[in-house]
Every structure is written in structure tokens, then in C-alpha cells.
Amino acid sequence: MAWQDAVAAAYGTAPRAATPLLGGCIAEVYRLDFDDRAPLVAKVARQGGLAIEGFMLDYLARHSTLAVPATRHVADDLLLMDYVEHVGRRSAVAEAEAAEQLAALHGITAEAFGFERDTVIGALPQPNPWTADWCGFYRDRRLLAMGRIARESGRLPAETHRALEGFCTRLEDFIDQPPAPGLVHGDVWSGNVLFAAERVAAFIDPALYFADPEVEIAYIELLSTFGAAFHRRYRELRPLRPGYAEGRRDVYNLFPLLVHTEICGPPYAQMVQDILTRYG
């Protein structure tokens, strides 16, 4: 069955137009326009992998106040969502609202770190077994797991992989146990935040798990997702613990840099090596 036929079967009517949009790692993405209904976004992945994205969006809609698009059909090869009108620019007011929404998300807690199921970041796996010890979770399920993937693909040099493994034996010297696990979106870069005038229209493409919420802020700083208005408002609502800027920020950015190493290659592998060298 062609994906257009699958849309008609799932939604009850066929679109009159399908316009390609910028896509993610695993899917083709289209805006679908209908004669008598509001537009949708269709993600099409012939190799599958979309059901977990739909699950995460639905989880956020049920359990948080984070702005996310409503899903209309969730299957492994086809995800239909409401189209969210948005603009390319972002204002200080909208960035402050993004801070408020993420601070509220990070206030959602669990009894342990991880999630009720494994998730993904892009097309890459995120194992999430419930773990009481944050250092152990971050070491085993993030740094070592992603380092192994990047090494086996050949994108992470053997020397850097050995340095990463050595660093992980001393990880407790650099990160501590946060007061409580907090729910994080997990992939807050500029392409995953949609703005509409003076507000946030939607956060998309989550990579959910319960973590030290500072991992989200470190990632946002690494990719310059937001400006000063966001960081000022977030810190008013959730002050960062002492030691974040002096060390934890770099350590928390090792994971997204390993992800980018696997996706993009050498420049990010060098950034991983630079952090490992800096911390001995």
C-alpha cells in the first residue's frame, strides 16, 4: 500500500496535496492539505521506527503541559500529527515561555532514572532501565552505550573510546546524585522547537527519559538553542546546582557529542576527545 493510501485508510480521507518538509533521521516528512479538514504532518518511514515517537508525544500530552502536536495516527511506518503553524523567528517573550514549559517538565519526577520503556534520540537507541543511581545510569546507559555504538561504526577513534572508558571509571568524581529525577525532552535543538509570534507553538521529536534535568540545559547551551531570555527565566524557576558550569556541563555534553559523532563523524569525535583530555 502506498503511504498516501495508508493516510486515507487511517484518517478517512485522502489529502489533496502533500508538500515535502524538512525531515528527521528516519522518515520522510510531508504537510498534508485536505479539502475539508485542518492540515496534518505525515511522517513516513518504510523501515519503521515511528511508533516510539508517537508514544512519546502522547506521553507528553497526557503527563505534562509541554506544547506538543496532537497525534492522529500512530504506527511504526506512518505517524500523523496536527500541523502546527509557526514562524522562523523567536522572541525573548517566547524564549521565556519555553523556559517556563521546560522548567515545569523538569519538575515531573519519578522514583528512579530511566523510563518505562526504551526510547530513541533520532534513530539511535536510548536504553532506559530504571536505575536508582544517576552516575551508574549515565555511565552505563548513555556514555558507554553510545560510545560503543560510535566505536563499532568506526566513527569514534579507538584511542578516544579507550579514554572514554577510562573516564567512566572516575565519573563519580565529576557528577553527583541530583535531588530527584526529572523528565527531560532530551533533544531540544532549534529544529525541534517551533515558535509562533510571542509564544511557543510546539516542541517536537522528543527523546524522553528521567534524568538530572541539567543534561537538558547543557544540551541547550551546547547547541545555542535559546538565548539569554531563556537562561535567565529558567534559572529564576530552577536554579542550577553549584558546580554545573565548572564541570557537569562538559560531562553532560559528552553524550550528545557522542550522538553527533555517530551521525556526523570526525569534528564531534574531536570535541569528545577535547573534553576527555580536559578532565584527565
pLDDT at 24 over 80: no
Task: Write down the pLDDT at residue 27.
Answer: 86
Determine how many CB atoms are found less than 10 A away from the CB of residue 53: 25
Task: Write down the pLDDT at residue 277.
Answer: 97
266 vs 58 pLDDT, higher one: 58
Domains and CATH numbers, the chain: 3-82 (3.30.200.20), 92-278 (3.90.1200.10)
Grid coordinates belonging to 227? 538565548
Determine how many CB atoms are found less than 10 A away from the CB of residue 26: 18
What predicted TM-score, i.e. pTM, was given to this entire model? 0.96
Grid coordinates belonging to 213? 534535568
User: Residue 279 in contact with residue 247, Cβ under 8 Å?
Assistant: yes
pLDDT in tens, 113-127: 999 999 999 999 999
Grid coordinates belonging to 273? 576527545
The percentage of residues in the chain with a pLDDT greater than 70, rounded to a whole number, is 99
Alpha-carbon Rg for the chain in angstroms: 19
Identify which of 224, 205, 199 has the alpha carbon closest to the alpha carbon of residue 85: 199
Q: Which residues are bridge partners to 194 per DSSP?
A: 202
- d(CA 223, CA 274) in angstroms, rounded, equals 17
How large is the angle between the packed helices 266-278 and 158-168, nearest 10 degrees? Answer: 40
Query: DSSP letter string over 174-191?
Result: T----SS-EEE-S---GG
Task: Write down the pLDDT at residue 132.
Answer: 98
Grid coordinates belonging to 274? 577535547
pLDDT in tens, 150-198: 999 999 999 999 999 999 999 999 999 999 999 999 999 999 999 998 8
Angle made by CA atoms 136, 137, 142, in degrees to the nearest 5: 120
pLDDT in tens, 87-105: 877 899 999 999 999 999 9
**Mean residue pLDDT across the chain:** 95
